[in-house]
Amino acid sequence: MNFELIIDVVLLALLVATAIGIASLRQLFPVAMLAGIYSLLSACFFVLMDAVDVAFTEAAVGAGMVTVLFLATFALTSRTELPTRPRRRQAALIAVFLTGALLMLATRDMPHFAAADAPIHSHPLYERYTVTSNEEIAVPNVVTSVLASYRGYDTLGEVTVIFTAGIAVWMLLAGRSRRNKSAKGMQH
């Protein structure tokens, strides 16, 4: 048996074990820790699939940033998960399995991993992005030239959305701390 296939299977088994652990735990602090491990495992998997940049984003955002955001949220809200009604739990399980089945069905239409005749290699834009972009934009990294120039307006929109969301969260949290401060001032 191919050794890389064995690594794939072991990593995916660890992913499933982590996911089951996340679903079964009621205390949210261990769930945050396990979510970090889940993200590190996915990062390993992405590196195995030669998508190093995706793996890097996954580790930085999933394991680093989101864990801290989870903990900050627990400090502001609650640290335990309320039990859901069995009826709703069943409905959620059915929805998840249905979506999973649809996604697995969709992978049958995808080209094989690292196939030479995949659309990304045969599409007319392939030549434009990999060869012409070096003369047009003079950025050696193809991903950067696509993100920052060819679809620059799209990236601008994305950044605007993230910026707005960040300002909204910041305003909410700032208002809360100011109220606490003024409440303390009233007591004295």
Where on the chain is the footprint of other proteins (CB under 8 A)?
Answer: 3, 7, 10-11, 14, 17-18, 21, 24-27, 29-30, 33-34, 36-37, 40-41, 43-44, 47-48, 52, 55-56, 59-60, 63-64, 67-68, 71-72, 74-75, 79-80
Least gap, CB of 89 to other proteins (angstroms) = 16
Q: How far apart are CA 33 and CA 60, in angstroms?
A: 15
Of 13 and 161, which CB lies nearer to other proteins in the complex structure? 13
111 φ/ψ sector (left φ>0, alpha ψ -120 to 50, else beta): beta
For residue 109, the 8-state DSSP code is: T
Least gap, CB of 7 to other proteins (angstroms) = 7
Tokens 């640290």 correspond to what residue? 79
Of 82 and 106, which CB lies nearer to other proteins in the complex structure? 82
CB 66 within 8 A of CB 38: no
Length of the chain: 188
DSSP secondary structure string for all residues of 112-135: PTT-TTSHHHHSHHHHIIIIIHHH
Of 13 and 95, which CB lies nearer to other proteins in the complex structure? 13
Of 75 and 102, which CB lies nearer to other proteins in the complex structure? 75
Least gap, CB of 143 to other proteins (angstroms) = 15
Of 60 and 161, which CB lies nearer to other proteins in the complex structure? 60
Q: How far apart are CA 53 and CA 33, in angstroms?
A: 23
Least gap, CB of 83 to other proteins (angstroms) = 12
Least gap, CB of 153 to other proteins (angstroms) = 30
Q: How far apart are CA 120 and CA 10, in angstroms?
A: 29
